[in-house]
Amino acid sequence: MSKKQPTTLSFLFTPADSAAGEDSNPHAKTSTNVAGTLDALSSRFGDAIEEVTAYAGERTVRVDRARIIELLTFLKEDQGYTYLADLGGIDRFTEDDRYEIMYNLVNMDKGKRIRIVIRVDEDQMVVPSATGVYKAANWNEREVWDMFGIRFDGHNDLRRMFMPDDFEYHPLRKEFPLLGVPGSLPLPPQTPSGGLTLDPFARAHGSVPPKSYDEPAGEDD
Amino acid sequence: MSIIEKTDFKEALTFWPRHNEALYRRLESKHAWLEDRHQGDGAPPDALDNEMVLNIGPQHPATHGVLRCAVELDGECIEKCVLDIGYLHRGVEKLAESKTYQEFMPYTDRMDYLSPYSNNVAWCLAVEKVAGIDVPERAQWIRMMMSELARISAHLLWMGVGLMDAGAVSVFLWSFQMREDLYSIFDHVTGARLTVSHSRIGGVVSDLDDTGMDMIRDFVERFPEVHAGWVKLLNRNRIWIDRNVDIGILSKEDAIELGMTGPNLRGSGIAHDIRRFEPYLKYDEVDFTIPIREEGDALARYFVRMEEMMESIKIIRQCLDKLETLKGPIRTDNAKRAYPSKNEVYYSMEGLIHDFMYTDTGVTPPKGGATYHAIEAPKGELGFYVQSDGTGKPFRVKMNTPSFTNLQGLEHMLEGGLMGDMVILIGTVDPVLGEADK
């Protein structure tokens, strides 16, 4: 089978390149203004902070992944970010530092929300697990492992979250085809007495269900 | 030989057994907090003859969908519990990457199918944030009012089903009478009973007419009385209270640590509500309180939800008053950011072109833009992280769904409880698997 090229939009359009200004976003929230935390982070961690980006009033702090646990512990214990709202992976589909993992942390007392991001290279798909700091990271990390194939060092239950344990692929990677991989998931029979199928799109390969749903012909017919 | 012609299925059939093996291995090796407790009082766990592994679900009516719980029982006590989800996994995050922003919206209807309107609003707000689209005032008030109706509808289902789990079928029927009225309202206002898809990026699809307003007003008038009837029936109901009190207790610390959200968090005494925390739409302009309870048990969560319904009514009343006088557009008048009105499409060439272009390309947020926007859905914080690459389709959508978050806490809650309380606890967490499985 020839390799399918990624689809691009087939007409001309002008992507808006400039990010919208800080104040102009009508949905920007005051909770994402975390200047105090950023100061504390930069004075404590200094060069471990690789980049701070601002978009729509939100701050994304990209940090060195080797120090992520130290940093999360600092945020939780010193800065009051006790609540992990979200944790997820991103496939940037670049050659270097292909994956990203983001941590969405909330400070309930001060009403602040911050996003911490680390990058993961394809050569080294293991990152330290945050479950030791936030228990809530447990299922989210399993989901990242399931969807992107990034392992979490120190996670005590790294099973797949949604897909069955014997599924071989990681679906949210960009190269995983949208229609799935034929033969990767055995499916129940299409009719009550039919056999197992290995392909969700069996019809596309010329397969028809072994029986129709019509009433079988009786002796009188 | 193609895969279809393969006749030897032996290899393929090792599929589910391997999955189950991993699940049971986890159950066996899991270190539950109960073991710590046993060690704490010095007495070794006496589980020599009574231990039993039991599978509940995925096809079990009391599990509210396709939730599978593998539990290890010591007599009647749940020693360990491992939840298995993913039976309804459709990969909507993956699907989102191949859809335009507007095209994706019907998928959000099918996530938390008990409050589709909230999901639509959550998605639209997330896209509007990443693209920097302003929404007309009237549309914001309509969205807010309908989201609150959706909250009532979701809480009604939780109440009816929760009580049915406890053995009281009549409340289920009563709550469904009210839900039927809500469905009629949705049907009239949005054109669909369940999968409403009424919100649009940049506004809503159609304005409220007088009949719709009257229907909502009528509902708001009738609801408090019906609600008072339920309160009268349940708040001092011996059976209901005995089934709920002191089970599934979550302390403040545990609730935060486990990342619980929504009424489950507020039932543990934490006044965290996205409507206050990060006010969206017009929630900073309406008057309402956030009910909380300190006890952290199933009964506390019951009280929180019951009071939330009345707070929603309060908000809807204010929305109705506001919408009486506030007239104006219901969608942004910018062809690059929102759909043109149908009149424009039918009677002008530009409108038709805009409609076509919007369907084909849609809104294109700036390249590299990434935002997270959360709303307070009936079940808790529902957030969308949207990352754009400058085209009309999102580069990455990460959903933070409340049911997924809450189910993680359920695992902890079940351990140490009784088998008979299990259905009550599942009901009290109020999971919707369509949302948890994404």
Please state the domain extents for chain A.
Answer: 30-173, 177-207
Contact status of B95 with chain A (Cβ, < 8 Å) = yes
Contact status of B356 with chain A (Cβ, < 8 Å) = no
* β pairing state of B68-74 and B77-84: antiparallel
Q: How far is the alpha carbon of A122 from chain B, nearest alpha carbon, in Å?
A: 18
Average of pLDDT values for B377-391? Answer: 91
Q: How far is the alpha carbon of B241 from chain A, nearest alpha carbon, in Å?
A: 30
CA end-to-end span of chain A, whole Å? Answer: 48
Contact status of B282 with chain A (Cβ, < 8 Å) = no
**Block residue for tokens 């009936």:** B378
pLDDT at A13: 44
Tokens of A104: 């969405």
Contact status of B27 with chain A (Cβ, < 8 Å) = no
Peptide linkage before B58 cis (omega within 30 of 0): yes
Check pLDDT > 70 for residue B69: yes
User: Taking CB atoms and an 8 Å limit, are A27 and B373 in contact across chains?
Assistant: yes
Show Cβ contacts of residue A97 under 8 Å, excluding neighbours closer than 6 positions. A119, A120, A121
Check pLDDT > 80 for residue B12: no
Contacts of B383 in chain A (CB under 8 A): 85-86, 104
Choose among B272, B364, B372: nearest Cβ to A115: B372
Report chain A's mean pLDDT, rounded to a whole number.
Answer: 80
Contact status of B385 with chain A (Cβ, < 8 Å) = yes
Strands (E), B67-210: 68-74, 77-84, 199-200, 203-204
Backbone phi, then psi, for A41, in 5-degree steps? -65, -45
pLDDT at A21: 47
pLDDT at A194: 63
Contact status of B183 with chain A (Cβ, < 8 Å) = no
User: Taking CB atoms and an 8 Å limit, are A159 and B26 in contact across chains?
Assistant: yes
Contact status of A104 with chain B (Cβ, < 8 Å) = yes
Contact present, A129 and A121 (Cβ < 8 Å)? no
b or e along B294-324 (b: 16 or more beta carbons within 10 Å of the residue's beta carbon)?
ebbbbbbbbbbbbbbbbbbbbbbbbbbebbe
What is the DSSP secondary-structure string of B199-264? EETTEESS---HHHHHHHHHHHHHHHHHHHHHHHHHTT-HHHHHHHTTSS---HHHHHHTT--THH
**Four-way CATH pick for A30-173: 3.40.50.740, 3.30.460.80, 3.30.230.80, 3.40.50.1370:** 3.30.460.80
Residue at B207: amino acid letter: D
3-state SS assignment for residue A136? coil
Choose among B30, B132, B361: nearest Cβ to A20: B132
Check pLDDT > 80 for residue B371: yes
**CA–CA gap between residue B240 and residue B175 (Å, rounded):** 16
Check pLDDT > 70 for residue A23: no
Contacts of B437 in chain A (CB under 8 A): 162
Check pLDDT > 50 for residue B378: yes
User: Taking CB atoms and an 8 Å limit, are B270 and A108 in contact across chains?
Assistant: yes
Strand partners, B56: B69
Q: At B1, is the pLDDT very low, low, confident or very high (cuts 50, 70, 90)?
A: very low
Q: At B132, is the pLDDT very low, low, confident or very high (cuts 50, 70, 90)?
A: confident
Check pLDDT > 80 for residue B220: yes
CATH numbers and ranges of domains, chain B: 20-84 (no CATH), 92-132+135-331+365-436 (1.10.645.10)
Check pLDDT > 80 for residue A172: yes
User: Taking CB atoms and an 8 Å limit, are B369 and A55 in contact across chains?
Assistant: yes
Contacts of B30 in chain A (CB under 8 A): 157
Choose among A15, A86, A195: nearest Cβ to B385: A86
Average of pLDDT values for B383-411? Answer: 91
pLDDT digits (tens, 9 = 90+) for A51-97: 888 888 888 999 998 999 999 999 999 888 999 999 999 998 888 88
What is the longest distance spanned by two Cα atoms in chain A?
90
pLDDT digits (tens, 9 = 90+) for A105-146: 999 988 899 999 999 998 889 999 999 999 999 999 999 999
A62: enclosing H helix or E strand: strand A58-63
Choose among A90, A166, A196: nearest Cβ to B387: A90
Tokens of A45: 């961690």
Average of pLDDT values for B12-30? Answer: 74
**CA–CA gap between residue A113 and residue A59 (Å, rounded):** 9
Show Cβ contacts of residue B252 under 8 Å, excluding neighbours closer than 6 positions. B268, B269, B270, B296
**Block residue for tokens 């072994």:** A210
Strand partners, B54: B71
